Structure 1
Amino acid sequence: MQTGFQHLHSGLAYLVLAGLIAVFIYAFIGTFSKREFTEKDRKFGLLGLIPAHIQLLVGIIIYFISPLGFSNLSSGNAMGDEISRLYALEHPLINIVAVILITVGYSRAKKLSSHRARFRSLYMFYGVALVLILSRIPWASWLG
């Protein structure tokens, strides 16, 4: 079961990254093209929001069933080992912050009145979240 969730988590990561990059570029262009923020634009923002939330749920499940997650913290050696610290603390914490930023950016974009500010909210929050996510991907295991 754990292996299945890990494969799902790795596969969804591509979808999350593609969605965030697409929305970031789309909103960035929308900000400087001075066009109206329409219902279509709001729905386009969901391309980054929905996969990120699904990824978070799968990641939380993995965190509690994997020996590299929560149970690794109780061993006492997690903070001393770079890989253990990444899986047990840094990766989950930073990615939770990233999903919160995505959610805040999307929610703000719905509530703001200026079209430019709505696009800006999407690209700024999604952009910061994207950088955070990229900084905490366990590249050695993901690509190797």
Structure 2
Amino acid sequence: MLVLSVVAVVLAALACVLAGLALRRTPSRSGGDGVEALPEDVHGLRQEVAALKTESADALRHLSVVRYDAFGDVGGHLSWSLAVLDDAGHGVVLTSIHGRSEARTYAKSISSWTCEQQLSPEEEEAIEHARP
């Protein structure tokens, strides 16, 4: 048992020595190649982030839902308007009007935050809430 303990202590000491040598060979951030490589990495990351922002500008990522009662005799806020738009305000507004015996759904194209067709107050509200 004593032999195993001695071997374990020797191996632990050897591991500490090797770890210390490895740390000495690693370039420090305060001088040498480490500092010169860092701005290139940061610059590359900034370029990637800028490219991702450009790509995501066309994504339909701004959305808003407005729920309401379209008719006085129907409750529960079953009617809704959903605006789904990109950064420039291009996209669509979907509206579903629920009555007692039927439901109708409409889609209206949105360009630069405006629509060629007349919008209901709820559709205008959905577009306004989707605006960043």
TM range (shorter): under 0.3
By percentage of residues, which structure has more helix? Answer: 1
By percentage of residues, which structure has more strand? Answer: 2
Work out which of the two has the higher radius of gyration on C-alpha atoms and give 1 or 2.
2
- Structure number with greater CO (CA < 8 Å, separation at least 6) is 1
